Amino acid sequence: MRLTVFGVGYVGLVTGTGLAELGHEVLCVDVNKRRVEALDRGEMPLYEPGLSDLVRRNVRANRLSFAASVSSPFEESDVYFIAVGTPRGEDGHPNLEAVFEAARSVVKTAKKPALVAVKSTVPVGTCDHIQTEISGANVRLEVVSNPEFLKEGAAVTDFFRPDRIVLGADSESAQRVLRNLYAPLQLSGERVLVTDRRSSELIKYAANAMLAMRVSFMNELARLCDATGADIHAVRLGVGSDARIGKRFLFAGPGYGGSCFPKDILALTALGRAHGVAMRLTDATHQANEDQLAFVIELVRKACGELKGKRIAVWGLAYKPETDDVREAPSQRIVAALMQSGATVVGHDPEATTNFVHAMKQRQLEVKVEGDSYDAANGADAVLLLTEWRSYRAPNFGKLRERMRGERPLVIDARNVWRADEVEAAGLVYRGLGTRSKRIP
């Protein structure tokens, strides 16, 4: 098929490249000309494991191209995918301006009947609204909902081995086109869910909200463990052993971040409010996440004592491993709070330092970063782990101790990935979240 994808962010670039890899002819369109020009030069605008090789291979094979607007022969695409951003608005509702602009571009350029597949995360009823807006097109355009379920850091794998594909399409002809499109993935019947557009739109929000709730609940339990002397590791194992619950998304941490959970939780709450339905659980999930950030900041303050004049190394700046994305990352607010309390912060991340420095400049804060994690710890009073990159999971604690200052330097493990006994054997003081490690007086 001939396909056009609007947007070259995580969703658009992975989707377009994945479809090209399946043998389709794909044009990826983005209004950001610099990003398009960079891709034409073979430069990736984001870090996603395995994606750069796929992009280069499909560009060489002439199956994948990039442009700032739709050009020939893609005015005759079979499907136009809308995969642009829907940033959070002031009132919690997502900003859909880019979605509607992409839809208008399809109306202006399409020269044959086609599907308009919305991959962007949008409120219930958006696809119906787009269908009404484009009804005056010169050719028949049918809007379908095809939400994405790509995890940053594993997006390529998720595209080729999806848990499910949701197709929100009203007509049998649209359903047939979408089934044929994804047929090379050889998915079994139960992993392809065909439904109406509105249900498809809500599935995406519901999935993210459910996962965010699990994260927030475990973070609340970690705070309760911290207060009562229980161990969150034991609680996690005990709860996760229940087959009805499962073991995934049961790890305590500094709070969720990224481009999806924070935005989608607030969007679902706003959607409920607009329809007179109180979404109390999403409200509570958001508040629990805010409380977790405050808890980690206070934990560092209590552990370190007076922060003014202290030097703190922060390992992990991306909101999760295997990405350079720092949008809504806990690191931003935690580092800002530490610096505003007078601490000197030196950061390290395998991929996200450039984006983090830029994000902090937008907060009018200049933060130092190092290219080596141990260099970041030079002269530090404390090391704070915020992102569980694999390269951080088994550090040389003896070497770390040598780089740090003070008689008993502090290690604060906000991901609970290190063993307290190994840390303390190296002459460091360990502090986790809700773990039965030695308490700081």
What's the CA gap between 119 and 53, in Å, rounded? 23
Tokens of 42: 């073979």
Set 28, 127, 225, 260: catalytic member: 260
What's the CA gap between 435 and 413, in Å, rounded? 10
Question: 276: phi > 0 → left, psi -120 to 50 → alpha, else beta; which?
Answer: left
What's the CA gap between 415 and 135, in Å, rounded? 50
197-228 vs 232-240: helix axis angle to the nearest 10? 140
Tokens of 168: 């929100």
**Beta-strand runs (E) in 54-103:** 64-67, 79-82
Secondary structure of 316-341 in the HEC alphabet?
Answer: CCCCCCCCCCCCCCHHHHHHHHHHHC
CB atoms within 10 A of CB 202: 19
What's the CA gap between 337 and 319, in Å, rounded? 17
Nearest to 356 by CA among 386, 400, 383: 386
Confirm whether 225 is a catalytic residue: no
What angle is formed at CA 57 by the lines to CA 52 and CA 59, rounded to 5 degrees? Answer: 95
What SS3 class is residue 65? strand
What's the CA gap between 394 and 426, in Å, rounded? 13
What's the CA gap between 25 and 37, in Å, rounded? 19
Tokens of 348: 């390290």
How many CA atoms within 13 Å lie on the side-chain side of 409? 25
Interacting residues of 241 by C-beta distance below 8 A, sequence separation 6+: 247
Quote the distance between the C-alpha of residue 100 and its chain's center: 23
What's the CA gap between 422 and 415, in Å, rounded? 16
**In contact, 428 and 400? CB cutoff 8 Å:** yes
What's the CA gap between 232 and 225, in Å, rounded? 6
DSSP state, 352? -
What's the CA gap between 324 and 320, in Å, rounded? 8
Active site residues: 260
